[in-house]
Structures are given as structure tokens and as C-alpha cells.
Structure 1
Amino acid sequence: MSTTSEIEHWIGRMALGDRAAFSSIYSATSAKLFGVVLRILNDRSEAEDVLQEAFVKIWRNADRYASGEYSPMTWLIAIARNQAIDRIRARKPRTDRIDEAFDLADQAPGPEAQTIAASERRRIDGCLGELDDAKAGAVRGAYLEGFSYEELAAHFDVPVNTMRTWLRRSLLKLRECLQR
């Protein structure tokens, strides 16, 4: 796994037109970005196309990256995510006639669903708070941020099998906590 400073360096080199830096950043981040795009689109072929478009946009906009404002992975993920969302929006046909329009209802959850989700979020956060900081961080990294076992093991400086054990045991503790 590449470090934040390496990725920032490559973005800076890409802003100057360095193709080797582009190759390095692609190798280091394409799998993670593909996972983000695939989760949004649920179509492997379309996700591959969108990932390619995202990397074109990353290449063209490398000079716009502000290193103090966002982490480089946040910036890269935002570009890939937005590209996938743009693809979904492009699927919907535009119409000027109201009788041809569809999806007029607001798809956002209502107040009751939002309240239930907020309550569940507090319960989950409370149960995560009962775990050791490292194990809670590993769970968040794996299930909320999409890091692989290998990436988490490198981050926490433990063997991959230890990371798998941490996650399995942590999920069991979370399940016990949530069932109380």
C-alpha cells in the first residue's frame, strides 16, 4: 500500500505531465477506485468504463489537487464516485412533458426512516466504542472505508491472519452488543 505522501507526490508529478507518476498512481489506487465505482454502478463493464473516465479526469485535473485540503485518496475517490454518479444520472431520460416524466416522488428516506437510521447509527457507534481503538479502527476501515485485509494489516502493522481474527472477533462482539 502506498503512503499518503507518495500519492501526493505522484499527483504533483502528474500535474507536470509525468506519465510514470500516472502509471504509479494507477497501479496503487485503481483496485480501490474500481471497488468504489462498482459498488455504485453494480455493473462490472460499466464500472471499468467509468474508472477509465475517472483516471482521464484525474490526469487532466491533477493541478487542481490542494494537498492541505483533502487527503489524496479522498480526492481520488471523490472524482471516481462523482464520475459513477454522473453515469447513473445520464441513464435517466430527460423529458419536458409532465405526463412522460417518472420518478417524481422524492426518493430520500422520510423523517421516520431518518430517525430510525440515526438511532441505529448511535447504537452501532456505541458498540464500536466498546472495542479497543485499534480493532474499532480496523472494523471501520474494512466495512465503512473498503480497505482490504492486506491494507489494514499493513496500517496496523500486524500479520494478515491476525487482522482477519481481529475483524471476526470484533464483529462477534458487535453482534452481541447490538442484540442486547
Structure 2
Amino acid sequence: MTAEDLAPLLAAVARGDRGALRAVYERQSVRLFGVANAILRDRDAAADALQDAFLKVSQRAAQFDASRGAAEAWLAAIVRHAALDIARARGREIPTDDPALGDQAVEPEALERVAASAEGRRLRDCLAALEAKHRDGILLAFVHGLSHAQVAAKLELPLGTAKAWIRRGLLRLRECLA
């Protein structure tokens, strides 16, 4: 399907054509599910986001304007917003597998405030100064919310190595921030 094929389908959806909505779903749902899953990292939540997004598409198809951008981008933006709404609603858990650190929920607004602050800039600078292996482990664990086992699988490392890299990275990060 070409990009030009989606615009007429969205116009038909705006006129209430359920077959056109089904066609858009059949052609774009796999890609859009990937967008939602990349944000939420939870297949069930991604499916919910996709459902919410297509409900919005059915209600707002008349707002699509091909002169302002591609239909694929418009659809992706709707899915992205639906996924972010779900992420905000459920809060953000940061699993650590380290009982000394404990698991804690962090609200997205708190993360945005930290990122915009001077501390956020210091944190970014300190992360940039870390070795790539330590930085990648920390980001996967604490930004993307992966467990140590998931980090190990993603980086194709033994679990103990992944845990050691994350731990050493955290110690170096603590020294840099002190």
C-alpha cells in the first residue's frame, strides 16, 4: 500500500465507512502496534493503546489533512498519544532486581521536571561520560524499565555480567554526581 492510498481511505472513514476503517486497520495495525509496544513495552497495554487509537481515528478522520503531512505519520501520532496516555495513567515502575535500591513508582511529570532541571543536565553529562557498556545497561534498566535478565538478553550477556555492568555504572554515576 502506498502513502497515497491511505488518504482516500481516511476520507471514507470520515464519511462513516466502516469498511475503510477496517482496511486502514488491516494495512497499518502491525506497524502501529509496534509504535505502541516500543513506548509501553507491554503487549497487552500496546493492544489497548491501538484500540484506543483506532477509536479516535474513527471519530477524528475528518481532521486528517494530507497537505499537512503523511497519513502514516498522522496515524502514528494518534497511536503515540494513546500509548503515552496509558503510560501516564499507570505511572512508571522502575524494576531494579536490587533489594538495596528497592522498586519505586515515578510519575512521568516528575521525570519531565528532573530532565529539565540543572540536575537533569548533570545527569545527562555524567551518563555521557560513562563507558558505553555501563551507560547502555543503566538506560535499559532505569529508563526503559527492563529487568536485569531482560538487559542481559538484550545485550546478549550472561546475567551476572549485566548485573555487574549496571552496578559499576551506578557507582561511577554516583561518584560523578557527588
Cα deviations by residue, 1:44-102 (Å, 9 ceiling, x for unpaired): 11111111111000110000111100110110000000000001111139xxxxxxx96
Superposition deviation, residue 111 in structure 1: 3.2
Residues 72 and 102 of structure 1, relative CA distance in 2, 3 Å threshold: closer
Q: Which residues of structure 2 form unaligned runs of 5+? A: 93-104, 129-178
Q: Which runs of 4+ in 1 moved over 6 A?
A: none
Structure-1 residue corresponding to 2:174: none
- Give the TM-score of the pair, scaled to structure 1: 0.54
1:100-132 per-residue CA deviation (whole Å, 9 max, x = no partner) reads x96546342733537x87xxxxxxxxxxxxxxx
Alpha-carbon distance in 1 for matches of 2:21, 2:114: 38
Please, what is the CA RMSD of the aligned residues? Answer: 2.6
- Counterparts of 2:24 and 2:76 in 1: how far apart (Å)? 13
Tell me the amino acid that sits aligned with residue 111 of structure 1: R
Give distance in 1, aligned partners of 2:32 and 2:106: 31
More relative contact order in 1 or in 2 (CA 8 Å, sep 6+)? 1
Q: Do the aligned partners of 2:91 and 2:106 also contact (CA within 8 Å) in 1?
A: no
Measured in 1, the distance between the counterparts of 2:89 and 2:37 equals 17
Deviation (angstroms), 1:37: 0.2
Paired residue secondary structure (1:108): helix
| Alignment correspondent of 2:58 | 59
What SS does the aligned partner of 1:82 have?
helix
Q: Figure out how many residues of one structure are paired with residues of the other and give that number.
A: 109
> Are 2:37 and 2:46, in contact at CA under 8 Å, matched by a contact in 1?
yes
Following superposition of structure 1 onto structure 2, how do residues 154-173 of structure 1 map, counting pairs within 5 Å? none
1:90 is paired with a residue whose SS is helix
* Structure 1 spans left out of the alignment, 5+ residues: 94-100, 118-180
Q: Secondary structure at the match of 1:61?
A: helix
Amino acid at match of 1:64: Q
Query: Within 2, Cα distance between the matches of 1:54 and 1:8?
Result: 17
Residue 8 of structure 2 is matched in structure 1 by: 9
Deviation digits for residues 15-37 of structure 1 (CA, Å, limit 9, x no counterpart): 00111111110011000000000
**TM-score normalised according to structure 2 size:** 0.55
